[in-house]
Each structure stands twice: as structure tokens, then as C-alpha cells.
Amino acid sequence: MATHLKEGQKAPAFTGTDQNGNKISLSQYKGKKVALYFYPQDLTPTCTVQACNLRDNFSLLQQQGIHVIGVSPDEVAKHKRFEERNHLPFPLIADTSHKILEKYGVWGEKQMFGHKYMGVYRTTFLIDEKGGIKKIFLKPKSKQHAAEILENF
């Protein structure tokens, strides 16, 4: 399953709370480039690889004026542990109510080992300075995600 959003559309507005208790809104980033990445769960292998790839290339992303924001359904305290354990330099929004996930069409039924469950489709949206969706990665490459972002912004 994929998001209902399309490249060229306006990115849906949102506000959430990050791992430090700060309110983060997309409107704060008006006039800036944003890599908004949705991931299933803190402290899991693939999500950690993806977050650490973004961390390791954070200065390159910053040099291009790209702001990274992560979103998952984990709560604030778990995001804080994830940030501290992996020294992550960007906000992680706790979307426990799934409001942002649903707005972006990345929450839905998944299947693993024959079991169906509700979860996050790992997806990244590149949002341009005007608030438009420039690129959607439906299957980001966790080990090369920063390079994908840099190549497409």
C-alpha cells in the first residue's frame, strides 16, 4: 500500500511533539527544505540503520539547507532513548494518535510472517521551500537514505 499523496501536491500541515517536548509544525519550516521521514519503530534494526545514516550525513544535508524530521508512532520517552542511544541530531515526532501518519497516508495494514497488523509504511517526503511535495520515497534505502535525499533535492 502507498500514500494517497502525489509529488507536486502541497504537503499536509501538521504539529507534533518531539523527543524534547518541543512542538514542531511544518509551518515553522516555510521557506526551507524538509526531509520528512516516517519509520515504524525506535530501537529496531532497520529504523536504527536509517536514522544513523541520516545522522552520519547530517552535515552534508545541512550544507544543502535540508532539515530532517522523523515521525513514528512511538511515545516521546522512547524517542528520547532512541535519540540518546544513537546521538541523533534531528527532531523525532511522537505521533501516538497516528494523526500525522494518517494525513500522509503511511499508516495501514501490513503483513509479516502471515500475520496482519496495523503499522507504518516506511516513507520519506521531500518538501520544498514552498511547502510542496518534491519527491516521495515509498521504499527508502535505509543504508543510503541521505544520498537518496541529496540526489533528489
Identify whether the C-beta of residue 37 lies closer than 8 Å to the C-beta of residue 69.
Answer: yes
Distance of CA 90 to the CA centre of its chain: 10
Report residue 24 as a C-alpha cell. Answer: 514542531
Give every CB contact of residue 43 below 8 A, 6+ residues apart in sequence.
78, 81, 82, 85
How far is it, in rounded angstroms, from Cα 96 to Cα 57?
28
d(CA 87, CA 89): 6
Of the candidates 47, 68, 71, 100, the residue annotated as catalytic is 47
- Cα(20)–Cα(144) distance, integer angstroms: 27
CB 124 within 8 A of CB 136: yes
Identify whether 47 is a catalytic site residue: yes
Active site residues per annotation? 47
